[in-house]
Structure 1
């Protein structure tokens, strides 16, 4: 029986070897020169021997299909944090997610140094409202530890029926002990783009993720507000999305030149994406806001605008996700496949995003803007006994006008601005750029 078993695996190995050579288009000539046919055959034989040994001697009775699936998952997990094997169940879950018929938390997660880390919470989702923050490390999902868990397993645990509860145990920088956050799952509906105004001359554009409609919605917002003298592009906690949308958004502000390029292991396969003047919508001064939750496509946009000297980037260092994944089917019915990293993104200057992120031109931390304390003892002109009454009346009139300003969901008020230090810093810089342009 043993000889029959191993004969079977040797046949599988030989067939795999033939198949590998038939689809060898991804390998360069130097790869084949460095690895002999004999070595390749021996490696495949070793794999089949291990699988056969596990099937025959492992303490539990595991079927061959399950062993192979586990081997494939382990292989992909060892490559990098983003490559993965997708079985039929995983494919089905992806289809459910695409149709929007699943309950979720509204967070994007990734593996950083082996730890399950929140890349960013999505605006106005259960996780965002519950207080989950970018950079939080997830220790437990309900009672399940995330130690040695795969990214797909973690996502599967966090999904569930809408209106069902879940508990996350988090480690947060600056906190002395883990934080327990209770969340109620819900259908995740995302508004990817919305716009507001700041004062009379600043347009605020918030992009929460790069879905298929970002370029259309941003074009509408910019064309609708042609009179504004400067733009704040807020990409904080934006986990990324579609590459073509990142290219389109950058193209709105850049006349020419490379926006981003991607290179695989064969440098001759480099692909470049460039800006065209026909797609440029505006040349007004621009400030981009980023933080640790800005990843992938948002890093491409902020990095390209920074390299082209088209925008001032303000905030905190970004996440550093600059790799390209594709889904390749491995079965005839395309019900199973692998998500494989095939390339890395490179910015116009040639620098990579992967594991380094984008360093802002101006570092600004989250929180409220420090303001003058009422307890501080200071004497001003208005406190003098014989101050100029006419001027004081004018100032007071302006202050009353500001206080009586109607609250509008399309307007960011002065009070809201002072609650967001990064936004306030960005606005101050933008106003300086507007003055300089005059």
Structure 2
């Protein structure tokens, strides 16, 4: 009786999956009868394997967990950014993009088959404990991470505020693992911070692109200009892992008065979207330097690419991560979600930065990093898109460049130095280089104005 009950469950699962095929596009004219037959055979094979495992595996199998694992394996075989989101993970994602979540504060990915830190979020438990980009997370608690997906790791790392989690880290140059015991906290992820670092020169840092980033940025501008006029700006996008595409577009729009910001190209017409700037650029003439590094990814690269292609400002720092794909999150039944790569994006000049990154106009390595890694190879130690398993090759998407571009788009508060931001920036050679350049620009502009008035 028990065998027949389990067989009935598996048969029902197979029938449901089979009838779902037309809704997933397998009845499309693009899919041949031969391809459909192959898909049916593979689904039948999956059902048979699941049935054999459930009857003969050494321990009783949880069907839901096994099927979820199979879905995760399917998505991980496509590219490193597509994933199945359990109801808990889907809720975490919604909370994170809305502005806060509870955890330790790191962005993670899979590099060379290992769970790797892309960058810690500023002023979080992970950042304060000293975790760094390219650290390998070998264990979370007592669980090894060899076969752990990023979403599974996120689930393990998050938990109630005040609870502890111990992670075992390996860093290049270390002989042994080092354990970090971190206390989980609410990660508010204040996405915009700002301060005047010199007369008329504003420093603005965007840590990621959330649903309210542009609103916070505009509010921050108004607050800054209450004290003095913004004559020049440093926009810091270093270690910004990305976020929402529409927020990156609206931030770039604040610096541009016309022309393309970015366009996306996918398999279907609705995925081909063009984003153009509007005339009411809030800071369209203020001298601008954008800081980037290996941790600047996705939405950050959209902003930097638009600024660079329009020659609106100077890009300074080191080559960026190189994530040139767009993910769409689709809600599923039961509160779960599907994060799926649906398009690639291109900069205004038609560049794809996939696995290439944005090369700065002025390359300036971070001195503190060089001092710590003087016996290691340079910035190649940091994970980039090109290091990720199953990443899209740039050459594979050159054919997607062709897209008729319409002329029009289709349809922080200021803080004081109580947190020590100015003292930190004084030791930051990339910020100091940007500051010196802007001082020179302001001085040159002032001299030209004086000469014009004398004439």
Q: Into which bin does the TM-score normalised by the smaller protein fall?
A: 0.7 to 0.9
Q: Tell me how far apart the structure 1 counterparts of residues 232 and 345 of structure 2 sit (CA, whole Å).
A: 29
* Residue equivalent to 2:384: none
Residues 187-237 of structure 1: CA distance to partner in whole angstroms, max 9, x if unpaired? 212222121112213111111121222212222333443733211001112
Q: Tell me how far apart the structure 2 counterparts of residues 340 and 47 of structure 1 sit (CA, whole Å).
A: 22
- Where structure 1 has 5 or more consecutive residues not aligned to the other structure, the ranges are 371-406
Is 2:75–2:84's contact at 8 Å kept on the other side of the alignment? yes
TM-score (norm 1): 0.79
* Residue equivalent to 2:185: 186
* Residue equivalent to 2:427: 419
Counterparts in 2 of 1:155 and 1:242: CA distance versus 1, 3 Å: same
Per-residue deviation at 1:160?
2.2
Q: Tell me how far apart the structure 2 counterparts of residues 58 and 22 of structure 1 sit (CA, whole Å).
A: 33
Is 1:6–1:49's contact at 8 Å kept on the other side of the alignment? no
* Residue equivalent to 1:265: 267
Residues 26-79 of structure 1: CA distance to partner in whole angstroms, max 9, x if unpaired? 9864x3148544333323322222222222332222254443233222222322
SS of residue matched to 2:367: coil
Residues 393-428 of structure 1: CA distance to partner in whole angstroms, max 9, x if unpaired? xxxxxxxxxxxxxx9559975x65541111111112
Residues 322-370 of structure 1: CA distance to partner in whole angstroms, max 9, x if unpaired? 3222222342xx4233222222222222222333222222222223699
SS of residue matched to 2:77: helix
1:115-130 alignment runs, 5 A limit:
115-130=114-129
* Residue equivalent to 1:16: 17
Q: Does 1:79 align with 2:78?
A: yes
Q: Which segment drifts farther, 427-436 or 42-51?
A: 427-436
Is 1:368–1:418's contact at 8 Å kept on the other side of the alignment? no
* Residue equivalent to 1:428: 436
1:260-299 alignment runs, 5 A limit:
260-266=262-268, 269-299=271-301
Is 1:289–1:313's contact at 8 Å kept on the other side of the alignment? yes
Is 1:369–1:419's contact at 8 Å kept on the other side of the alignment? no
Is 1:317–1:358's contact at 8 Å kept on the other side of the alignment? yes
SS of residue matched to 2:330: strand
2:231 to 218, 229, 250: 229
Q: Which segment drifts farther, 41-50 or 168-177?
A: 168-177
Is 1:105–1:127's contact at 8 Å kept on the other side of the alignment? yes
Per-residue deviation at 1:178?
4.2
Q: Tell me how far apart the structure 1 counterparts of residues 230 and 96 of structure 2 sit (CA, whole Å).
A: 38
Counterparts in 2 of 1:173 and 1:68: CA distance versus 1, 3 Å: closer
Q: Tell me how far apart the structure 2 counterparts of residues 369 and 426 of structure 1 sit (CA, whole Å).
A: 18
Residues 69-105 of structure 1: CA distance to partner in whole angstroms, max 9, x if unpaired? 3322222232222222233444455567678886311
- Where structure 2 has 5 or more consecutive residues not aligned to the other structure, the ranges are 371-415, 449-455
Q: Tell me how far apart the structure 1 counterparts of residues 186 and 37 of structure 2 sit (CA, whole Å).
A: 53
Q: Tell me how far apart the structure 2 counterparts of residues 141 and 4 of structure 1 sit (CA, whole Å).
A: 37
Q: Tell me how far apart the structure 1 counterparts of residues 94 and 316 of structure 2 sit (CA, whole Å).
A: 37
Q: Tell me how far apart the structure 1 counterparts of residues 67 and 344 of structure 2 sit (CA, whole Å).
A: 29
* Residue equivalent to 2:326: 324
Is 2:85–2:151's contact at 8 Å kept on the other side of the alignment? no
Q: Tell me how far apart the structure 1 counterparts of residues 4 and 18 of structure 2 sit (CA, whole Å).
A: 21
* Residue equivalent to 1:133: 132
Q: Does 1:364 align with 2:364?
A: yes
1:399-418 alignment runs, 5 A limit:
408-409=417-418, 416-418=424-426
* Residue equivalent to 1:402: none
Counterparts in 2 of 1:67 and 1:106: CA distance versus 1, 3 Å: closer
Per-residue deviation at 1:246?
0.6
* Residue equivalent to 1:195: 194
Q: Does 1:306 align with 2:308?
A: yes
Q: Tell me how far apart the structure 2 counterparts of residues 13 and 148 of structure 1 sit (CA, whole Å).
A: 26
- The number of residues matched between the two structures is 397
TM-score (norm 2): 0.77
Is 1:118–1:133's contact at 8 Å kept on the other side of the alignment? yes
Per-residue deviation at 1:175?
4.9
